[in-house]
């Protein structure tokens, strides 16, 4: 296999707060090939968004402790200078944020914002940068882009604002696109349109993409591979087909069965018992053990590491045998 575009090794993120240290990300490892889409799923608070912000280098330095390595195209991102980091953010790596209404600047038109971004990351004139902005708005299929380019964010619908955010993120031709639950604030119909658009653009432009979502259906639609996060750790990873069809971690299985799809009126909906752990006071051993129906005292002895389970899946669960079945 070719050298991965992105390699993350033992990434750990801690936040200093008045209540103590919050363990938001706890030693994750992942690789991403060029042109590949990695879907990251998990409950709120599992560390998905913090991981993306660490990759982009936008976590507050005074309150954050980061260790490990983030290597993009051979460079360690955590060792970049402020000037190098400024070029890296938006140039080599771009991000689509969850809520475009707050991510876009309300006092500048979308055309001005895209034009400024293009000029910031490329030696070009304002006229050429504006032409690039118009090209990107056409690419994300904003109707009548020539007139919409001079609209302010509040003059656009939620779906159009998200398309403008996508155009902004793609305008510099990044190597890696980070999408942080970009469809959460949209209604179901627009959500599907944006997902299909992102997948089409990703394939057309050949970008590597990390797509964070809590919606398993969205992950299934857009991802080549899936990583499942819980309490700041990746507990299962593999191809989208393998993870969704044959989940091997009890938490993954719980996520997939906690749905109203296919349920009948009056039936009890399966759900994961309990609540996610307090990141300031993590339990011993497996963080999922207090909620796991298969847990034993052995599960609290040590934190399980990711191990191969099946053809192309890796699972962090001591109750997994080499063939991927749950141990009795």
Quote the CA–CA distance of 42 and 24 in Å, as a whole number.
13
> Which residues neighbour 6 within 8 Å (Cβ) at sequence distance 6 or greater?
30, 31, 32, 55, 70, 71, 72, 176, 208
Contact 155, 107 (CB under 8 A): no
- pLDDT band, residue 324 (cuts 50/70/90): very low
Give the rounded percent of residues in the chain with a pLDDT score beyond 70.
Answer: 94
> Which residues neighbour 282 within 8 Å (Cβ) at sequence distance 6 or greater?
23, 26, 231
Pairing mode of beta strands 225-230, 37-41: parallel
Q: What is the model's pTM?
A: 0.91
* pLDDT higher than 50, residue 220: yes
Residue that the structure tokens 């990873």 belong to: 237
- pLDDT band, residue 217 (cuts 50/70/90): confident
Q: What would the CATH number be for the domain defined by 33-63+77-280?
A: 3.40.50.300
* pLDDT higher than 50, residue 327: no
Q: Residue 197's pLDDT is what?
A: 87
- pLDDT band, residue 323 (cuts 50/70/90): very low
Quote the CA–CA distance of 152 and 113 in Å, as a whole number.
10
Q: Residue 1's pLDDT is what?
A: 60
């Amino acid at each position: 296999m070719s050298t991965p575009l992105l390699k993350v090794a033992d990434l750990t993120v801690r936040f200093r707060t008045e209540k103590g240290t919050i363990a938001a990300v706890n030693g994750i490892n992942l690789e991403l090939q060029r042109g590949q889409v990695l879907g990251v799923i998990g409950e709120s608070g599992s560390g998905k968004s913090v991981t993306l912000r660490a990759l982009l280098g936008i976590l507050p330095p005074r309150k954050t402790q980061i260790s490990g390595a983030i290597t993009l195209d051979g460079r360690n991102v955590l060792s970049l200078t402020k000037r190098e980091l400024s070029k890296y953010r938006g140039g080599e790596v771009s991000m689509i944020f969850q809520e475009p209404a707050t991510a876009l600047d309300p006092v500048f038109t979308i055309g001005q914002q895209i034009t400024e971004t293009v000029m910031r990351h490329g030696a070009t004139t304002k006229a050429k940068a504006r032409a690039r902005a118009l090209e990107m708005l056409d690419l994300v299929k904003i109707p009548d882009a020539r007139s919409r380019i001079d609209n302010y964010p509040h003059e656009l619908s939620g779906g159009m604002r998200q398309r403008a955010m996508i155009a902004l993120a793609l305008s510099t031709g990044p190597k890696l696109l980070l999408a942080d639950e970009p469809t959460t604030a949209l209604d179901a119909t627009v959500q599907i349109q944006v997902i299909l658009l992102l997948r089409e653009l990703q394939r057309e432009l050949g970008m590597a993409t990390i797509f964070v979502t809590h919606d398993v259906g969205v992950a299934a639609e857009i991802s080549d591979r899936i990583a499942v996060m819980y309490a700041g750790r990746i507990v299962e990873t593999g191809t989208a087909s393998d993870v969704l069809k044959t989940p091997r971690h009890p938490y993954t299985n719980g996520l997939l069965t906690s749905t109203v799809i296919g349920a009948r009126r009056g039936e009890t909906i399966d759900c994961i018992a309990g609540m996610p752990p307090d990141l300031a006071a993590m339990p011993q051993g497996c963080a999922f053990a207090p909620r796991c129906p298969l847990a034993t005292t052995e599960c609290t002895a040590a934190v399980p590491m990711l191990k191969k389970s099946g053809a192309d899946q890796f699972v962090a669960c001591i109750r997994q045998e080499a063939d991927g079945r749950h141990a009795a």
